[in-house]
Copies of this chain bind each other. A is one copy, B any other.
Amino acid sequence: MTALSVPSVPADLALARLREATPLVQCITNSVVTGFTANVLLAVGAAPAMVDLPEEAGIFAGIAGGLLVNLGTPTPQQRDAARAAVVATDRWVLDPVAIGTLPVRTALAAELLQSRPAIVRGNASEIIALAGLGSGGRGVDSTAGAEEALEAATSIARSAGAVVAVSGEVDVITDGTETVRVPGGDRLLTLVTGGGCSLGATMAAFLAVCDPLSAAVAASVAHAVAAEHAARTSSGPGTFAVDFLDALAALDPSDLRDREAHLQGVS
């Protein structure tokens, strides 16, 4: 008797599929990280497109392989674009940036959650705030560890039917039943703006080629391994961000296979 493996599509296979498919990934994201996010998607093997007009976002979501909705700087147009896009696809990621104290994005995150994202990605403070269990952290800064948000993540996963990924020193990813922990990465990634936001985009890319839990784990593993590679060659946050893109582009599926083995030990 063999147990179902968790996740069902291992990260190495997911990456091989992604490279083969080069899926279009639509990003409705904040103005700070657009360029870096697009470069991360290109490096990982996807084709980014930021289509965030209300009149165009729904049309494009129907064509795209995956969609990211990131609430970092949600202009009125982006809010309407997000509403139009999330009803046009099931393959979308919600990143509730800095919700909690700030009213516009907090209300919007609650509203969009009703449209059943495949994945919710955030830091611990954001996930706790989204579950209605806390008031949020300091903007994009999390004041709580990922493990502290496990109860909130599980609650959202069960009520919204989504995979919830909490970013931290160890990423905690749950579908409400199974929980996967992805260790690794590097502290320097927290000194690069868009480190977390681009992870949400990579999850959206993987949604084009596998199920939500597999997609969230594969993206998390890919970013962790690439960050470790970049940390070896860089000498600060500037060179790290650049080398991270090189490392993502150079990732071989086998680099993730070794990490999979480690994952199965901790899940």
Q: Across the two chains, which residue of chain B brings its CB closest to A23?
A: B138
Contacts of A53 in B (CB 8 A): 73-75, 102, 104
Q: Check A59 against B102 for contact (C-beta < 8 Å).
A: yes
Contacts of A35 in B (CB 8 A): 32-36, 193-194
Q: How far, in whole Å, are A43 and B240 apart by their CA atoms in the complex?
A: 12
Q: Check A138 against B47 for contact (C-beta < 8 Å).
A: yes
Q: How far, in whole Å, are A139 and B245 apart by their CA atoms in the complex?
A: 22
The copy count of this chain in the complex is: 3
Q: Check B101 against A24 for contact (C-beta < 8 Å).
A: no
Number of chain A residues close to chain B: CB under 8 A: 59
List residues of chain A with CB under 8 Å of any chain B CB.
Answer: 24, 30-36, 38-39, 42-43, 47-53, 55-56, 59-60, 63, 72-77, 98, 101-105, 138-141, 191-194, 234-239, 241-247, 249-250
27 contacts between A and B (CB under 8 A): A31-B31, A32-B38, A33-B35, A38-B193, A42-B191, A42-B237, A48-B140, A49-B140, A49-B141, A50-B72, A51-B73, A53-B75, A53-B104, A56-B102, A56-B104, A59-B101, A59-B103, A60-B102, A63-B101, A191-B249, A234-B246, A236-B246, A237-B245, A238-B242, A238-B244, A239-B242, A241-B242
